[in-house]
Amino acid sequence: MKRSAVNILIAANVLVYVLQYLSHDSIGTLLALFPIQADETGRSYFHVWQLVTYSFLHDIHNPLHLLFNMYGVWMFGSAIERYVGPRRLLTLYFASVLTAALTQLIVPALLAEPLAPVEGASGGVFGLLLAFAILFPKQRLMLLFPPIPMPAWVFATLYALLELYLGISGRQAGVAHFAHLGGMIGSALTIMQWRRRAAR
């Protein structure tokens, strides 16, 4: 019996959250995604492993941060895993996590926005959302507020446009909107690569 990649991802995130809580978030200094640029003391806290490890961290003072991200992993990831298998699901997820990190490191710096450490699985979740919309475009999804059902492709498109608007306008500070968009980019590139291989 194959192990579920979705369950492994959720378990890993919950385990790291517990470690964060027990360590009073001291591991965040090592694992969160820090800007490449040096701070006012001339020191940079960025390390290459943070391009992945940040995605396992969540705000220990806000359990909903973990809850909503893991709900997204389960909701979108389960259907994708059944369709493409656990190995491809993990490939797609971590490609999204990586491109989310790179986008968050580059775009805010180009826009001269305030730079801050980033943590959370939402880049991977947005990658899963886009993959779900591509693989199951007519599957109906529903917003929480307001509860309006719509096809998955419409849902993903509206979310992408909203993230782009919020990222450029800066109207929702403290949220890594460009990481969300970057996660979608990684997902799209991964699926394009799968389709190119299948067409050979």
| Per-residue model confidence (pLDDT) at position 52 | 97
Give residue 25's region: left, alpha or beta (phi > 0; psi -120 to 50).
left
| Per-residue model confidence (pLDDT) at position 198 | 87
| Per-residue model confidence (pLDDT) at position 57 | 97
Q: How many CA atoms lie within 13 A of 162 on its CB side?
A: 9
| Per-residue model confidence (pLDDT) at position 145 | 60
| Per-residue model confidence (pLDDT) at position 19 | 94
pTM listed for this prediction:
0.93
CATH number, position 168: 1.20.1540.10
Assigned token pair, 63: 């359990």
Cα–Cα distance for residue pair 86/84, rounded to 1 Å: 7
Helix (H) or strand (E) holding 78: helix 63-84
| Per-residue model confidence (pLDDT) at position 144 | 65
Question: How many independent structural domains does the chain possess?
Answer: 1
Over the chain (200 residues), what is each successive 10-residue block's mean pLDDT?
Answer: 87 96 90 86 87 96 94 96 97 98 91 85 97 96 77 94 89 85 97 90
Single-letter amino acid, residue 14: V
Q: Which residue is associated with the tokens 């705000």? A: 59
| Per-residue model confidence (pLDDT) at position 108 | 86
Structural domain boundaries enclosing 171 = 5-199
